[in-house]
Structure 1
Amino acid sequence: MVIAVIGAGMIGAAAARHLAQGGHQVMLIGPPEPQDKAAHPGVFASHYDEGRITRALDPWPFWSRASQASIARYHQIEADSGLRFFHETGTVMAGAEDSPYIRRLCEVRDQDNLPCDMLRGPVLTARFPFFRFDPGTLALHETQGAGHINPRTLVRAQIRIAAQAGARILPDTVLGLDETPTGLRIRTDQGEVLANQALVAAGGFANMILPDPLPLTVYARTVVLLELDPQEAGRLAAMPSLIWLEPDGNDPYLLPPIRYPDGRIYLKMGGDTVDVILRDTQDIRDWFRGGGNVAVGRMLADQVRARMPGLRVATSHVQPCVTTFTPQNIPALERLGPRLSVAVGGCGRGAKCSDELGRLGAELALGRGLPDWAQQAALPS
């Protein structure tokens, strides 16, 4: 039986690895990152970056469970691929101690017995002197298995292991698929391939492929990269990843100094609150080619400076990405028919737990059921 995994991003690459290492015949279909994004006519992905926060703590039990399962496999993926993508710098999640967000976070911590430090007041200030927190803040500092991952390198690692285990890697763009009497005909920009089963893990581009669209909402997102000189990066060497809850319910995030492919060191800030919906594949292409929202980048940079008084920034620029949401706020992990399954919708949380989401998608492609926890919707925000 040939299983086609459509989408060579974070979830699809993980699914291909799990299937190939399980001894199954796998085709992973998806183009690599384009070199010239502004002129690229095809599809894109949001893992074209060097930093994503990882942590087990999450106020929504589904995401905590999926993250714990993925984090537990990080070191083995690194060992099997020879690629390092995980940086255990720790993660801080902070907000008003009496807020529902923080209360739910503490409930998940207690339920799953997740080790973390509870920091308040002068102790919090002393631990992280480069951050400024409001009075009444409670910070949960997770050190074990938390910090940040390199999503580009994680995808490379998954694909390398899948190929070593016998997976066929096709750098094609899938245009659609049709059922045949014996399987599926998958139409790509390079021709047609046949498979017995298909798992679609194409993120915001999934509805371009599926015969019947899923109820996905794709948002345009902007992040800002703040360049640091070597001295400033050294001053912040002990900085963890940070997520904080604003009084208005927004939860911006900040990553510690990371070296990017251009050789420069950046702090990355996200938390775009401008909800621009991308309604079709052409909208998504145009957004990636356009390079992001400069006004949102300025807003995010101002938030960083307010959180980190005295921060010295050399230059800054913005980057575009997208987030794909489902109505349930958990991924669409479903069998759509006897030969077709989907694993899409990271809901802004999928990078850190992509390996487990890929594993669950692989289970579906094999005709197996999912555990109860993976079918329970997250709590409303």
Structure 2
Amino acid sequence: MAFIYDLCVVGAGMTGSAAAREASLTPYFKVCLVGPPEPKVRKITTGKEVFGAHYDEARIASTLTSKHAVWGVLAQRSINRYSELEKMSGVHFYETVGSLTVGTRISQYMNQTKNNAKNQGILFNMEVLNNCQMKNKFPYFNFSSEDQGVMEENAGIINPRKMVMAQISVASKNGCDVIRETVTNIFRQPDGHSRIKTETGRLIIARKVLLATNVFTELHNLLGNIRPLYVPMPQTVTLAEISPADAIRLRNMPCVKYNGTGGQSWPSDYPRDNDQHIGFYMLPPVRYPDGKYYIKLGHADAILKGPLKVSEIQKWYCGEGDRLLEEQMFNLLKGVLPEINFLSHHGDACVTMVTPNSRPYIDLVNPTTGVVIGDNGWSAKSSDEIGRIAAQMMIQANWSYDLPKDLFKLYTNLTGPPSQSKL
């Protein structure tokens, strides 16, 4: 008789690994996590079908948000558990460097950011800085005289590769089987169990299945005729190399999130949103696997160039993003940090799954199949809590979380788009 898992988590990225780790804590509940490892080389010619958004060394971990307040809650709860996860796994993936949210004074962006902080009860942990105060504290930044900042000291940087490593390590210690293959087919049997087939022909049988497959969910029609409503949007970042000496000089540099009219000397041709604002995020120097130090800058959602077709996603992951946009971002970076001598720069690419209500999908498709997808570009820092919610949903077969279920409802071609929600 074939072995039957209680839960099979498909997708071994940040959220899937977190869900597997959480589920593995349940006594007498057998879990497996299925997903390919990161390829040594990202090329279509290698035959790899699935890629992950966690193929990176640095992401911002901040509870401050100008977006939907639920993202701040998810981030806060995740960040509060980072140290515990590091201790359990023995893998260090988080550095507290602080995060500076900057924008034009008395703007909707800054007002929303401060209001969300107040509603989350974290405003007392923040320091509001005018332009002069920012200049004194961070003399290397070149912001507008009209800008102000909110400094979050407890924020920092996660290494997503190592975070996934930590989650998988703890899950394995708890008895979770990790299968490093790509799932190509899921068939629900008459008895309610699912037959999960991988690229090598391996057959896995599970009572329940949780899909953490994000933009690759439709690659092999893992949900059958059900199509989640989302838009696969291409992301481009610039990675600008600096010297070890400059990395030391910028050792107290925080992460930055910006939305405003921009500095007077910033490039005039950088793409702006409908309000003529520039938006970007930036991380301080991080040493990458090639031994070099890079400052990473990414663009705001307002200038996304997309969407991508499902058939285009693999090719995009194997490239360096939009070359023109990457050059524009590098020129912007030089305007923001005018005193830094950049040695080189190159682009990198990934894809975000943007849902209609800009929140993650955490929902049951049927009594034994669930999804935890829809990163919206903000899930890295919140992945531990998102995975925890999904695992509890699958184990309990109902919703017991303290936030409303409808916030995370899956909308598909069969259900139609969501109505507007307040949170």
Match of 2:181 among 147, 172, 176: 172
Q: Which position in structure 2 is the counterpart of 1:125?
A: 135
Cα displacement string for residues 127-150 of structure 1 (whole angstroms, at most 9, x for unaligned residues) = 111111112212110012x01100
2:19 maps to amino acid: A
Secondary structure at the aligned position of 2:357 is classed as coil
Q: Which position in structure 2 is the counterpart of 1:193?
A: 204
Contact 2:320 / 2:346 at 8 angstroms: preserved in 1? Answer: no
**Does 1:203 pair with 2:214?**
yes
**Does 1:141 pair with 2:151?**
yes
**Does 1:365 pair with 2:369?**
no
Secondary structure at the aligned position of 1:245 is classed as strand
d(CA) in 2 for partners of 1:89, 1:368:
38
**Does 1:297 pair with 2:297?**
no
How many residues are aligned here?
Answer: 378
Structure 1 residue 62: deviation in Å? Answer: 0.5
Q: Any stretches of 5+ residues in structure 2 without a counterpart?
A: 262-275, 409-419
Structure 1 residue 250: deviation in Å? Answer: 4.9
Cα displacement string for residues 308-362 of structure 1 (whole angstroms, at most 9, x for unaligned residues) = 1112101111111111111010001111101110000110100000001101111
Secondary structure at the aligned position of 1:161 is classed as helix
d(CA) in 1 for partners of 2:114, 2:327:
33
Q: Which position in structure 2 is the counterpart of 1:241?
A: 255
Contact 1:5 / 1:26 at 8 angstroms: preserved in 2? Answer: yes
What is the root-mean-square deviation in Å for CA atoms of aligned residues? 1.6
Q: Which position in structure 1 is the counterpart of 2:243?
A: 229
Q: TM-score, normalised by structure 2?
A: 0.86
Q: Any stretches of 5+ residues in structure 1 without a counterpart?
A: none
d(CA) in 2 for partners of 1:347, 1:168:
29
d(CA) in 1 for partners of 2:13, 2:119:
32
1:139 maps to amino acid: G
Q: Which position in structure 1 is the counterpart of 2:14?
A: 10
Contact 2:363 / 2:372 at 8 angstroms: preserved in 1? Answer: yes
Q: Which position in structure 2 is the counterpart of 1:76?
A: 84
Structure 1 residue 221: deviation in Å? Answer: 1.1
Once the two structures are overlaid, the 10-residue window that deviates more, 269-278 or 212-221, is 269-278
d(CA) in 2 for partners of 1:93, 1:201:
30
d(CA) in 2 for partners of 1:249, 1:355:
32
Match of 1:27 among 10, 26, 32: 32
Match of 1:263 among 271, 281, 291: 291
**Does 1:278 pair with 2:308?**
yes
Q: 1:200 to 1:379 in 2, by over 3 A?
A: same
Q: 1:84 to 1:324 in 2, by over 3 A?
A: same
d(CA) in 2 for partners of 1:250, 1:85:
30
Contact 2:98 / 2:255 at 8 angstroms: preserved in 1? Answer: yes
Contact 1:40 / 1:289 at 8 angstroms: preserved in 2? Answer: no
Contact 1:62 / 1:373 at 8 angstroms: preserved in 2? Answer: no
d(CA) in 2 for partners of 1:150, 1:267:
14
Structure 1 residue 40: deviation in Å? Answer: 3.2
Secondary structure at the aligned position of 1:360 is classed as helix
Contact 1:147 / 1:240 at 8 angstroms: preserved in 2? Answer: yes
Secondary structure at the aligned position of 1:283 is classed as helix
d(CA) in 1 for partners of 2:105, 2:285:
28
d(CA) in 2 for partners of 1:22, 1:116:
37
Contact 1:227 / 1:265 at 8 angstroms: preserved in 2? Answer: yes
Structure 1 residue 175: deviation in Å? Answer: 1.1
Match of 1:40 among 46, 65, 72: 46
Q: Which position in structure 1 is the counterpart of 2:417?
A: none
Q: TM-score, normalised by structure 1?
A: 0.96
2:54 maps to amino acid: H
Structure 1 residue 368: deviation in Å? Answer: 2.7
Q: 1:151 to 1:4 in 2, by over 3 A?
A: same
Cα displacement string for residues 208-246 of structure 1 (whole angstroms, at most 9, x for unaligned residues) = 322111012111111111111111111111100001003
Q: Which position in structure 2 is the counterpart of 1:376?
A: 407
Contact 1:331 / 1:347 at 8 angstroms: preserved in 2? Answer: yes
Q: 1:379 to 1:294 in 2, by over 3 A?
A: farther
Contact 2:319 / 2:348 at 8 angstroms: preserved in 1? Answer: no
d(CA) in 2 for partners of 1:218, 1:137:
33
d(CA) in 2 for partners of 1:321, 1:131:
27
Larger Rg: 2
Secondary structure at the aligned position of 1:45 is classed as coil
d(CA) in 2 for partners of 1:271, 1:374:
31
Contact 2:361 / 2:371 at 8 angstroms: preserved in 1? Answer: yes
d(CA) in 2 for partners of 1:249, 1:348:
20
Identity over aligned residues, as a percent? Answer: 31
Matches within 5 A, 1:268-347: 268-271=296-299, 273-280=303-310, 282-347=311-376
2:39 maps to amino acid: P
**Does 1:162 pair with 2:171?**
yes
Q: Which position in structure 1 is the counterpart of 2:416?
A: none
